[in-house]
């Protein structure tokens, strides 16, 4: 995954969670990443590539303090629970 591609995803779609211990799980991270790629018309990478890129940035995909933000978060939430809209 190109460094700027991943850095843009992090800058646009995640922020530190307000409450410790409420980070995103793998399914949420990959779903958010998928939404971000679709919105930005960026080629989607595999989950394994995303996990490796996260680890290179010091982010544990299984234990982190990340929260969703921005248009990709809204897209992911709507796609995940269309009956709520």
* Residues 45-72: tens digit of each pLDDT: 999 999 999 999 999 999 999 999 999 9
Token pair 């990478």 in the structure block, residue:
45
42, exposed or middle or buried, with CB in 10 Å at 0-12, 13-18, 19+?
Answer: middle
Domain range list for the chain: 3-79
pLDDT in tens, 4-56: 789 999 999 999 887 766 799 999 999 999 999 999 999 999 999 999 999 99
- How many angstroms separate the CA atoms of 28 and 20, rounded? 17
Second-level CATH architecture of 3-79: Orthogonal Bundle (1.10)
Q: Dig out the tokens for 53 from the structure.
A: 């890129």
The pLDDT of residue 1 is 44
Does pLDDT of 3 surpass 60?
no
- How many angstroms separate the CA atoms of 15 and 3, rounded? 18
């Amino acid at each position: 995954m190109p460094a700027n591609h991943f850095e843009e995803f992090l800058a646009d779609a995640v922020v530190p969670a307000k409450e410790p211990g409420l980070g995103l799980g793998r399914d949420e991270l990959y779903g958010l990443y998928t939404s971000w790629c679709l919105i930005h018309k960026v080629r989607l990478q595999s989950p394994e590539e995303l996990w490796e890129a996260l680890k290179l940035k010091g982010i544990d995909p299984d234990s982190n303090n990340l929260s969703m933000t921005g248009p990709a978060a809204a897209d992911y939430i709507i796609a995940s629970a269309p009956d709520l809209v």
